[in-house]
Amino acid sequence: MTALELTADPVELTAALVDVPSVSGEEKPLADAVEAALRTQAPHLEVRRSGNAVLARTLLGRPSRVVFAGHLDTVPINENLPCRRTGQGADQVLHGCGTVDMKGGDAVLLHLAASLPTPRHDLTFVFYDCEEVEAARNGLGRIERELPDWLAGDLAVVAEPSNGVIEAGCQGTMRVELRAAGERAHTARAWMGTNAIHALAEPLRRLAEYTPRSVEIDGCTYHEGLQAVRIDGGVAGNVVPDDAVLTVNHRFAPDRGIERAEAHLREVFAGFPLTVVDAAAGALPGLAAPAAGELVTAAGGQPVAKLGWTDVARFARLGLPAVNFGPGDPSLAHTKAEHVPTEQIRTVAGTLRAFLAG
């Protein structure tokens, strides 16, 4: 088993975490190492195992609790292990699968868990599995069902890559299908049929002319989006198709719930049968919460809206204001070229230390 030094430089801890492969569903070796390190190096924490997730918390009787969450899994390796380094000193960069999404963030949280025995807030740390795959397998869902008290608190911080800037809340997401019906005919006698693919021209026109709104909430601007992402249809090279399906993805600001988002799409595509395939509500910024305000002060600068969906939405549904805050450029996540500046890892660790030390 890999031995992790939790109180070491979080940069070195990041490199050690990256070198333990943990593709979704294969997190056990890393979860074993994390559990062993927390049990031996952080005796001030209560530690609990849930499948391939590891949880730890303080029980100091503080009036407030902050929940920190980071997923242990990565997307499949793409010729980008083991971890390698470029540059020197403050310009050093770590390269490798998970450096951005999100073992740099995990390293920061593990370092703080072991090195802050008496923080000003009680703390819960959740290192969970299967975030990068379908939602039904996400370890947070299992923890919510089996250990709900471990997700209770006054603020949640998800250490997803955010370039070291607080990204507040997140967008909601919805995927819908629009179906057009026609009538088959031989293409040599096309007038005898009705082309279902051609019937999608009208919803595609509406999409092309659609102007998405921008919404400001707590000083953060959420940009919505509506995009065609797939078209299915066709029978054969000489047959007028009698069925076609257009798939559309909608990213909506967190001031709209799922029902309002669906109602909006039914208005946009009035006249076409619409089926919701999947949907997840967003999360409001929640920056007015006292603990969130303290974190914003410690981080400095202006928080920005999270453009995308993250597990902050799960915490928001449980009643916790939630933010994303971690090292790494999110645009590099899931790419072969994942890399993170080492100074950004140290800066995020320092910001959270200042926030927790008070």
Q: Please say whether the beta carbons of 88 and 341 come within 8 A.
A: no
Q: Answer whether residue 4 is part of any domain.
A: no
Closest CA to 30 of 113, 143, 130: 130
Looking at the structure, do residues 304 and 181 belong to the same domain, yes or no?
no
pLDDT recorded at residue 302: 87
Q: Please say whether the beta carbons of 244 and 233 come within 8 A.
A: yes
* pLDDT at 1 > cutoff 80: no
pLDDT recorded at residue 101: 94
Q: Which of 228, 260, 280 is the last residue of a domain?
A: 280
Looking at the structure, do residues 96 and 153 belong to the same domain, yes or no?
yes
pLDDT tens-digit series, residues 63-86: 999 999 999 999 999 999 999 999
Looking at the structure, do residues 266 and 336 belong to the same domain, yes or no?
no
Q: What is the mean pLDDT of residues 53-71?
A: 97
The residues annotated with a catalytic role in the active site are 73, 131
Integer Cα distance of 107 and 128 in angstroms: 13
Per-residue pLDDT band for 171 (boundaries 50, 70, 90) equals very high
| CA distance to 26, 285, 342, per residue, from 147 (Å) | 22, 25, 34
Integer Cα distance of 244 and 246 in angstroms: 7
- The pair phi, psi for residue 285, each rounded to 5°, is -60, -40
Looking at the structure, do residues 256 and 238 belong to the same domain, yes or no?
yes
Q: Answer whether residue 301 is part of any domain.
A: yes
Integer Cα distance of 220 and 203 in angstroms: 31
Looking at the structure, do residues 93 and 229 belong to the same domain, yes or no?
no
Q: Answer whether residue 5 is part of any domain.
A: no
Q: Which of 261, 280, 299 is the last residue of a domain?
A: 280
pLDDT recorded at residue 300: 87
Looking at the structure, do residues 261 and 288 belong to the same domain, yes or no?
no
Q: What is the mean pLDDT of residues 115-140?
A: 94
Closest CA to 94 of 274, 344, 324, 357: 344
Integer Cα distance of 284 and 98 in angstroms: 27
Q: Which of 251, 280, 309 is the last residue of a domain?
A: 280
Identify the domain containing residue 242 by its residue range.
172-280
Q: Answer whether residue 1 is part of any domain.
A: no
Looking at the structure, do residues 319 and 177 belong to the same domain, yes or no?
no
Counted domains in the chain: 2
Q: Answer whether residue 81 is part of any domain.
A: yes
pLDDT tens-digit series, residues 240-260: 999 999 999 999 999 999 999
Integer Cα distance of 282 and 316 in angstroms: 8
Question: What are 50's two structure tokens?
Answer: 């849930």
Q: What is the mean pLDDT of residues 95-104?
A: 97
Q: Answer whether residue 232 is part of any domain.
A: yes
Secondary structure tally for the chain: helices H, strands E = 10, 19
Looking at the structure, do residues 239 and 150 belong to the same domain, yes or no?
no
- Could you give the percent of the chain with pLDDT greater than 90? 93
pLDDT recorded at residue 136: 86
Looking at the structure, do residues 31 and 134 belong to the same domain, yes or no?
yes
* pLDDT at 58 > cutoff 90: yes
Q: Answer whether residue 324 is part of any domain.
A: yes
Residue that is written with structure tokens 């001030």 in the block? 44
Integer Cα distance of 264 and 339 in angstroms: 39
Closest CA to 45 of 1, 109, 105, 108: 109
The whole-model pTM stands at 0.89
Q: What is the mean pLDDT of residues 290-317?
A: 91
* pLDDT at 274 > cutoff 70: yes
DSSP 200-239: THHHHHHHHH----EEEETTEEEEPEEEEEEEEE---TTE
Looking at the structure, do residues 217 and 251 belong to the same domain, yes or no?
yes
